């Protein structure tokens, strides 16, 4: 029914050889397909999609293991395969014969909307990959793609190694205000160790009373992976060259060619609109914090510490109060219960192969029939990439008369279980879990039959965050919390007054957070409009901060060296997508709030018009079909400032 995940590291070499053989056989099979006469959608496009998906079924687990159980072996195999994968897809994307076959099949008037969408997106991909270019330019694009994949992987691995290698020993007095679980996690033998991994770093910056040590940790965090400076300029240079070869003015234009936003100017106008409507409120938030801290000068390493104390004073809450009510497994099951009630589905835990003992796996049912599988890996550990993400693996599609069921992974870095204390989540962790589950159900709830537009496939990048941001809003609703927020020891339900305080505090310092995201987004879109060297990149960042930031970090802060989203991920000239999609999510969330969280008509419309259709049409059209309105940017301001 489902493809089993092979977790054995000793099988990596075997997987590598299998993938290399698969790449060779796929090339041969595609060449055979090209020689057929009277190409049809079924004879060519369906088979073509299936062949490429089979490659992904082998490679995705390899890359996944490299990020969740990183070792010399996983890294070696991954790095050896990456150039081969890159070369294969680059050559494929420039194959004029395939392009012409797609163009010919596109003329078939009998194709349904899904198939038309597959062809529309494939043809655009070919054109954006330089299918009509001279052989010299195609060759250069192939070289660029190969170098970019290597540099971006090196960027991510440098960051991972720098994060893993740092350790700071502290005294118990320095962390006396730590939540219990964070305190236990910091204890190593008879010492207390702080690292740059998110749970440890954030705990220290939020709760440590030692200001000098906070600055020391902040400096270590903001100067990680200095070797990435050279990589950033190489990556930017190659992207600029790629755009020029493809006859775009800059890489930003190339990136936006497949997004909802039509130009860098439109993106910047959108971001400055949000900034202009947020800056005064952010200044007020910072001024209040300065007065509360009573310091001669409030520094970046002071913000989290005093923000937490002010938050506690204003709302009489802190994370430590809530964490016992958000035990990891209970919270996960609570999220499943909420989704079950909202969408009439059921989650059942299954016993299957996993890559770590803390990973849990669930099958999802609708009308007593299984239709998807989800892997949940939430605890931080050595050799695991920081942050949180959803990774799609198997795509729902039709193979002859059989429906292939989808699978996906949710990965996070929450505090691990420690001794008698289970993994306990902060409210922000709960929000993160809801966010990643929003991505997962977008992939898993698909009803599409064509691989290339099923789930998140084919969804515009500046709309892919819509379902995730939409779902995270529910993490603060009392009607949702009351079903699962229970003390892990006593079983007591989170008191209603605390639920309300949590909701009231949701938008605490939201304007400062808004400007921070706008800063990242403007920096990203601007550095991809011209060719910059390392010092010029810093000047662009400084200029953006001068325009929108309300606190300037010290000169040694090299945030760009750890900005993996744009230098090692898929968000290059697209980081604005978080805010762009957040407009859709705010509009959609208000639709539920105004009509009742569990309104069946609206829930079914969201399920049918957004989740089920995946990328088979523009996410903009799916949003309008669901909401029956065009998106309004001011809805986002209403959501975060009210």
Measured CA to CA, the distance from residue 415 to residue 322 in angstroms comes to 14
Measured CA to CA, the distance from residue 78 to residue 305 in angstroms comes to 40
Rounded CA-CA distance 261/252 in Å is 11
Residue 321 burial class via C-beta count within 10 angstroms: exposed 0-12, middle 13-18, buried 19 and up: middle
Is 519 considered catalytic here? Answer: no
* CA gap 182, 199 in Å, rounded: 8
Alpha-carbon distance of 445 to 613, in angstroms, equals: 9
In sign, the C-alpha dihedral spanning 516, 520, 523, 526 is negative
Q: Decide: 96 and 131 in contact? Cβ < 8 Å.
A: yes
SS3 content of the chain, % helix, strand, coil (to 5): 60, 10, 30
Q: How far apart are CA 366 and CA 344, in angstroms?
A: 7
**Cβ partners under 8 Å of residue 314, min gap 6:** 505, 508
- Of the residues 285, 436, 450, 519, only one is catalytic, namely 436
What is the DSSP pairing of strand 369-379 with strand 402-404? Answer: unpaired
Q: Convert 450-459 to b/e letters by CB count within 10 Å (16 or more is b).
A: bbbbbbbbbb
Asked if residues 364 and 347 have their Cβ atoms less than 8 Å apart, the reply is yes
**How far is it, in rounded angstroms, from Cα 621 to Cα 198?**
37
| CA–CA gap between residue 319 and residue 502 (Å, rounded) | 10
CA distance 86 to 145: 7
> Helix, strand or coil for residue 349?
strand
- Cα-Cα-Cα-Cα torsion 198, 200, 202, 206, nearest 10 degrees, comes to 170
The candidate with the shortest Cα–Cα distance to 72, out of 191, 184, 160, is 160
> Cα–chain-centroid distance for residue 563?
13
Please give the DSSP secondary-structure letter assigned to residue 22. Answer: H
**How far apart (Å, rounded) are the C-alpha atoms in residues 380 and 50?**
35
| Residues marked as catalytic | 436
């Amino acid at each position: 029914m489902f493809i089993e995940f092979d977790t054995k590291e000793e099988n990596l070499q075997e997987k590598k050889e299998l993938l290399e053989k698969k790449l060779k056989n796929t090339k041969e099979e595609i060449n055979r397909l090209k020689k057929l006469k009277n190409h049809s959608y079924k004879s060519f496009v369906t088979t073509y999609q299936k062949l490429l998906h089979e490659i992904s079924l082998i490679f995705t687990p390899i890359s996944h293991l490299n990020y969740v159980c990183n070792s010399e072996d996983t890294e070696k195999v991954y790095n050896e395969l990456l150039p081969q994968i890159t070369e294969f897809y680059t050559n494929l994307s420039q194959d004029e014969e395939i392009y012409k076959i797609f163009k010919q099949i596109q003329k078939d008037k009998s194709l349904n909307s899904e198939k038309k969408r597959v062809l529309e997106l494939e043809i655009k991909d070919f054109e954006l990959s330089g299918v009509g270019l001279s052989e010299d330019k195609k060759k250069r694009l192939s070289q660029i793609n190969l170098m970019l994949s290597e540099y971006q992987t090196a960027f991510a691995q440098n960051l991972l190694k720098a994060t893993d290698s740092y350790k700071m020993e502290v005294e118990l007095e320095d962390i006396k205000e730590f939540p219990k679980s964070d305190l236990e996690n910091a204890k190593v033998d008879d010492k207390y160790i702080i690292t740059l991994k998110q749970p440890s770093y954030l705990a220290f910056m939020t709760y440590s009373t030692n200001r000098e040590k906070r600055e020391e940790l902040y400096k270590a965090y903001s100067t990680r992976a200095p070797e990435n400076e050279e990589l950033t300029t190489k990556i930017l240079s190659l992207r600029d060259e790629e755009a020029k070869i493809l006859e775009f003015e800059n890489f930003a234009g190339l990136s936006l060619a497949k997004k909802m936003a039509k130009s860098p100017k439109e993106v910047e106008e959108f971001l400055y609109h949000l900034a202009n409507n947020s800056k005064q409120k952010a200044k007020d938030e910072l001024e209040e914090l300065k007065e509360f801290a009573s310091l001669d000068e409030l520094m970046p390493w002071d913000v989290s510490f005093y923000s937490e104390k002010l938050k506690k004073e204003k709302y009489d809450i802190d994370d430590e109060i809530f964490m016992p009510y958000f035990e990891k497994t209970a919270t996960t099951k609570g999220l499943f219960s909420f989704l079950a009630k909202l969408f009439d589905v059921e989650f059942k835990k299954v016993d299957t192969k996993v890559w770590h003992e803390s990973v849990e796996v669930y099958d999802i049912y609708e009308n007593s029939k299984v239709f998807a599988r989800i892997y949940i890996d939430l605890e931080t550990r050595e050799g695991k990439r920081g942050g949180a993400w959803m990774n799609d693996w198997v795509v729902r599609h039709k193979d002859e008369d059989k429906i292939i069921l989808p699978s996906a992974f949710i990965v996070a870095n929450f505090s691990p279980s420690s001794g008698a204390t289970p993994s306990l989540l902060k409210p922000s962790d709960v929000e993160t879990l809801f966010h990643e589950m929003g991505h997962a159900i977008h992939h898993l709830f698909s009803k599409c039959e064509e691989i290339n537009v099923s789930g998140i496939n084919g969804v515009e990048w500046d709309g892919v965050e819509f379902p995730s941001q939409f779902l995270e809003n529910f993490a603060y609703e009392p009607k949702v919390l009351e079903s699962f927020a229970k003390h892990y020891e006593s079983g007591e339900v989170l008191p209603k007054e605390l639920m309300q305080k949590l909701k009231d505090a949701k938008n605490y310092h939201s304007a400062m957070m808004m400007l921070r995201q706008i800063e990242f987004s403007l920096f990203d879109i601007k550095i991809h409009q011209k060719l910059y060297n390392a010092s010029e990149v810093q000047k662009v960042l400084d200029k953006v901060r001068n325009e929108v930031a309300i606190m300037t970090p010290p000169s040694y802060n090299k945030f760009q060296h750890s900005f993996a989203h744009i230098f090692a991920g898929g968000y290059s000239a697209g980081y604005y997508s978080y805010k762009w999609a957040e407009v859709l999510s705010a509009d959609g969330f208000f639709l539920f709030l105004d009509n009742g969280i569990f309104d069946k008509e609206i829930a079914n419309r969201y399920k049918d018009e957004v989740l089920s259709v995946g990328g088979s049409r523009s996410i903009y059209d799916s949003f309008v079909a669901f909401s029956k309105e065009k998106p309004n940017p001011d809805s986002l301001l209403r959501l975060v400032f009210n």
